[in-house]
């Protein structure tokens, strides 16, 4: 199984600022995804991080708010831009190797004040 290192594990940020979350995998993976999990709720897919091209965003999420990079097959970043308290959530990186189950990073718990 893939080992995923996600940083930071948590942060408290001022509204209007931006935070970049990093996801590093110990092996090359087919797909990488970013999810958001708001308190007491399930996972909502933000986007698919595509290697070498623009991410594919789900309905309700846009590139200006959540820019994503994926420069290679083992690394991706998600930026939460111009944050507001409504962005307070857990952000999770997920990877798929081959056609198997998804593995998750430990998540980044973001609080916007």
Q: Which residues bind other proteins (CB under 8 A)?
A: 30-31, 33, 35, 41-45, 48, 92, 94, 96, 99-107
Residue 104: closest CA among 85, 89, 90 = 90
Q: Would you say 57 or 81 has its CB closer to other proteins?
A: 57
The β-bridge partners of 76 are 23
Q: Would you say 91 or 112 has its CB closer to other proteins?
A: 91
Please tell me the total number of residues recorded for the chain in this structure: 113
Q: Is 70 within 8 Å of 59 (Cβ atoms)?
A: no
Q: Would you say 32 or 112 has its CB closer to other proteins?
A: 32
Residue 27: closest CA among 7, 49, 5 = 5
Min dist. Cβ of residue 46 to other proteins (A): 11
Distance CA 77, CA 74 (A): 11
Q: What are phi and psi of 78, to 5 degrees?
A: -125, 130
Min dist. Cβ of residue 28 to other proteins (A): 14
Min dist. Cβ of residue 16 to other proteins (A): 28
Q: Would you say 54 or 101 has its CB closer to other proteins?
A: 101
Min dist. Cβ of residue 107 to other proteins (A): 5
């Amino acid at each position: 199984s893939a080992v995923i290192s996600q940083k930071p594990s948590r942060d408290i940020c001022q509204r209007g600022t931006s935070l970049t979350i990093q996801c590093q995998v110990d092996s090359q993976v087919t797909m990488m995804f970013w999810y958001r999990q708001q308190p007491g709720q399930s996972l909502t897919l933000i986007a698919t991080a595509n290697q070498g091209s623009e991410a594919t965003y789900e309905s309700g999420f846009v590139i200006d708010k959540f820019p994503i990079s994926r420069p290679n097959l083992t690394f991706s970043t998600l930026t939460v831009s111009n944050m507001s308290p409504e962005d307070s959530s857990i952000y999770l990186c997920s990877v798929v190797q081959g056609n198997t189950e998804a593995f998750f990073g430990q998540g980044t718990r973001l609080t916007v004040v």
